[in-house]
Chains A and B, each alone.
Chain A
Amino acid sequence: MNNGNHHNGAATAGGVGPAGIAGAGDNQWLLRVRNLTKIYGEPGPRTLELTGPEFSSNICPDTDSIVACAEVSFDLYPGEVLGIVGESGSGKSTVVKLLYFDLGKTAGSALLYPYDQGQTNMLEASGQQKRRIRNHLMGMVYQNPRDGLNFHFSSGGNIAEKLIMAGQLHVGGIRERASQLLEKTEIPVRRLDDTPATFSGGMQQRVQIAKAIANNPPLLFLDEVTTGLDVSVQARVLDLIRELQQELGIAMIVVSHDLSVIRMLTDRTLVMKNGRIVESGLTDQILQDPQHAYTQLLVSSLL
């Protein structure tokens, strides 16, 4: 697990929380993912060789197992916004769901610097540890608000869940923080005690964002956040995300099939196809000078 190139041994032991990375040097990664692989079904010895973009397939011809994503490796730095783009079925959502522990990995490691100074593969932590990491160090915004919110609870209650999991047991304090977050996400505070079921799609998405950032996590996952929204609401949600990113300096992984969302939000981009990363680099570079044939197709179909 200890990969040895941990070039900031003097960094303060910050425990968990964004303070944990404050003492780290400029080149200290926040998240280091290596060989992340998810295979459904029984893989054979040649499964990884026989699937991928060169075969235009992620189904193993030998065993019929499905390679959702394979050998995904990247580093994410504090405050950086990384995009993952690709067609549907390319494995981009699988990557964030693995990192948020919604799915179990088949192979690979993910080190999160504030968790044990990045010494331990968080994908192999116990259920209790994983929940702790999730509550203190990560936030997730799903495409469908019903995945991220409990529609039987009020919007305040949904935010409270995240705060309670981090140990806040003061109703007044919870309501104050929840109000702050709603204000920040441009939801009228008087809707605090209404259920998200009574909200519009854009508002539901903003409640999800408020919940995701409730504990000031250093890392936020955004999975197709604007896909179900109409264009004017999309723009407001994207503005909000950009503002929050600048204000709070949260590192983000943005998953989208929409290149304009990627262009607007991200610094760096991974392009995925058939479960593999086919191209990665600065977002501007990829959009202006795509190298891989698939990326070229993607960019040209946008223009």
Chain B
Amino acid sequence: MIENTKFQHRYNFAFIDESTKKEIRRKLLKAVAIPGYQCPYSSPEMPIARGWGTGGLHVTLAIIGREDIFKIIDQGSDASVNACNLRDFVQAMTGCRTTFDTTEATLIQTRHRITEEALTAEQVFVFQVPQPEPLRSVERYEYRTRQMHGEADYAKMWVSLYESFVRHGDILLGAGYPVRINGRYIMAPSPIPRWDIPNLHQAETLYLFGAGREKRLYAVPPHTTVEPLEFEDVRFHIEDFNGQVCNQTGYRKAFLDEIYSDDGSKQFVVNDSNFLDKLRAGEPIAPFVNAYIQQIES
């Protein structure tokens, strides 16, 4: 008797059915072909609500293979609720090996951070994006923002940066600082801190962005120019920790978390949990190098 194996598994490999995966992959190809362009896609239903990381999950599940080693972080941490649950889900749906080690992973999904350790050409980095439209803060109508992107009409964005500088003495955009990709589209780099923005520029790795609720995919391919918007006399700068060091490792050249104690005092600690673990264990590290981080005295 010929055995029917089709219904032995309750789900297709990586949960999403093959034709939907194909659709997402086609849209990813388009996104890679037009760096920074927001490509609409089907955004299929997931067992979690849209807005909770579905965009990142769609991308991950559409491109993951059986040999991939998967890592997922949430705000730099491997251990937060969002990361743990999505890791379990991807593991259950694919059987892929998972890891905390940044250098070992081949596919990394993230919420709001890029790892401190430099990424390589062998890795793919997937962002969960809550708001893909960088112009939303200055223009509420979608048809208008589409037109503005189409015609590269970004004056309003620039005026909002001017206004921020005039009112507050600095451009107060902590996360999601707008960047210009390949000299053309202005893109919202997910809400990663300014610290991570220079690591998008001329990178080795393919960066993919998925916004499930807004149904948009976009990409920064390897070796693409990524410039944060800056005036000739008001330059982009990364977060300044005022010489603070990580209280567990004494390390300065990483993005630091501010942790308040019950007595009101505060301490700083390296945000990237895997990086922190490696520093504490004295393991070899290979952090990102860029002009902004180099300026910090070690």
Contact = CB atoms under 8 A, between A and B. Distances in A.
Interface of A: 127-128, 131, 150, 153-154, 156-158, 160-161, 164-165, 169-175, 193
29 contacts: A127-B147, A127-B151, A128-B151, A128-B152, A131-B153, A153-B163, A154-B166, A156-B162, A156-B166, A157-B159, A157-B162, A157-B163, A157-B166, A161-B156, A161-B159, A164-B155, A164-B162, A169-B158, A169-B231, A170-B231, A170-B232, A171-B162, A171-B232, A171-B233, A171-B234, A173-B232, A173-B233, A174-B162, A193-B167
B165 interface: yes
Contact of B155 (A127, A165, A171, A172): A165
A172 B158 CA distance: 14
Contacts of B159: 150, 153, 157-158, 160-161, 164
A170 B233 contact: yes
Contacts, number: 52
A161 B231 contact: no
Nearest to A162: B155
A254 to B, nearest CB: 27
Contacts of B166: 154, 156-157, 175, 193
Interface in B147-202: 147, 150-153, 155-156, 158-160, 162-163, 165-167
A29 B163 CA distance: 39
Given A170-B231, A174-B162, 14 more contacts: A127-B147, A127-B151, A128-B153, A131-B153, A153-B159, A156-B166, A157-B159, A160-B158, A161-B159, A164-B159, A165-B155, A171-B231, A171-B233, A172-B233
A154 B165 CA distance: 12
Contacts of B150: 127
A128 B148 CA distance: 10
Contacts of A150: 159
A62 to B, nearest CB: 34
A197 to B, nearest CB: 14
**3 closest cross-chain pairs (CB), A and B:** A170-B232, A165-B155, A164-B158
A9 B50 CA distance: 62
A179 to B, nearest CB: 12
Nearest to B158: A164
A172 B235 CA distance: 12
Q: Residue among B156, B163, B165, B167 with the most chain A CB within 10 A?
A: B163
Contacts of B156: 161
Contacts of A175: 166
A133 to B, nearest CB: 13
A232 B162 CA distance: 35
A170 B163 CA distance: 13
A213 B158 CA distance: 20
A176 to B, nearest CB: 11
A75 B288 CA distance: 63
Contacts of A193: 166-167
Residue of A131, A150, A157 most packed against chain B (CB within 10 A): A157
A165 B162 CA distance: 13
Nearest to A193: B166
B162 to A, nearest CB: 5
B85 to A, nearest CB: 40
B12 to A, nearest CB: 44
B158 to A, nearest CB: 5
A117 B234 CA distance: 37
A157 B156 CA distance: 10
A171 B165 contact: yes
A105 B250 CA distance: 67
Contact of B163 (A127, A154, A172, A173): A154
Nearest to B154: A164
A165 B232 CA distance: 15
A172 B162 CA distance: 10
A173 B162 CA distance: 12
A249 B158 CA distance: 30
B259 to A, nearest CB: 35
Interface string B230-241: 011110000000
B231 A160 contact: no
A82 to B, nearest CB: 29
